[in-house]
Amino acid sequence: MTDHPERISARLQDLTTQAGAEMMRSLQRYNELLQRLAGGDLDDGAAREAWVLFMRDETERYFRGLANVSTGYYDALLELGSTYNPPFFEQAVKRTQSPVAAPSQPPAGVIELRGSLGGEAVSTFRVTNASSRDEEVTFEVSEFSGPPDASPFRPPLRLEPPRFILAPAESQLVRASLPLVAGLFVPNQHYSAVLTVHKRDSFDLTIDAIAIAPKEDACG
């Protein structure tokens, strides 16, 4: 693959030399004919016949040579194109393709809060600013829903810090803590809520909470 340019260049030089040689051969024969006419070696009739033969032979040779040169020339051009076009278009496509933008927000995830009934469940998650400007971050929590027969409610979920400003490329670890108050949470039942992280590109996180029954109650 690496020797293609040199080989194609040599072919083009050979074709150019061949075309020049054909032209010089025709000029030499034409010059010989003129010299024979000037020297009296040929009369008018013979000159006309020689001229007809010359034109017939040289015209046929010329067009045959022209066809050979043209075919070889275009073959060389095609080979040259097949050598350089694919890499060119590959590079062009790569340069014109839009770069993959960094996600402006983390993918939707789940905050798991596990703890003993009457205790506190704690978890953390991270918020990142992938933009080029400062961003203010705040939170909004929906009501918690649990078993089908339970009504939605709002437990005292705490987020620390509750709001903050992130510089470009900066991130903040947020601590979520949930008191698993007896009477609000039924032991070993799953409760869920939606935590919306408000910034320029807001996103939602799912809160999955469960209050584990104390061992003594579970054994009883």
Q: What's the CATH number where 124 sits?
A: 2.60.40.10
- pLDDT of the chain, 220 residues: tens digit per residue: 455 566 666 766 776 677 677 667 766 776 776 777 677 776 667 666 766 666 666 666 666 665 665 566 556 555 655 555 555 445 554 554 544 444 434 445 999 999 999 999 999 999 999 999 999 999 999 999 999 888 999 999 999 999 999 999 999 999 999 999 998 999 999 999 999 999 999 999 999 999 999 876 444 4
Q: Is residue 40 domain-shared with residue 141, that is, in the same domain? A: no
Q: Is residue 55 domain-shared with residue 121, that is, in the same domain? A: no
Tokens coding 167: 């510089």
- Determine, yes or no, domain membership for 101: no
- Determine, yes or no, domain membership for 34: yes
Q: How far apart are CA 40 and CA 45, in angstroms?
A: 12
Domain of residue 17 covers 4-96
Q: Is residue 83 domain-shared with residue 166, that is, in the same domain? A: no
- Determine, yes or no, domain membership for 104: no
The whole-model pTM stands at 0.49
Among 124, 81, 115, CA closest to 214: 115
Judging by beta carbons within 10 Å of its beta carbon (0-12, 13-18, 19+), is residue 159 exposed, middle or buried? middle
Q: How far apart are CA 64 and CA 103, in angstroms?
A: 65
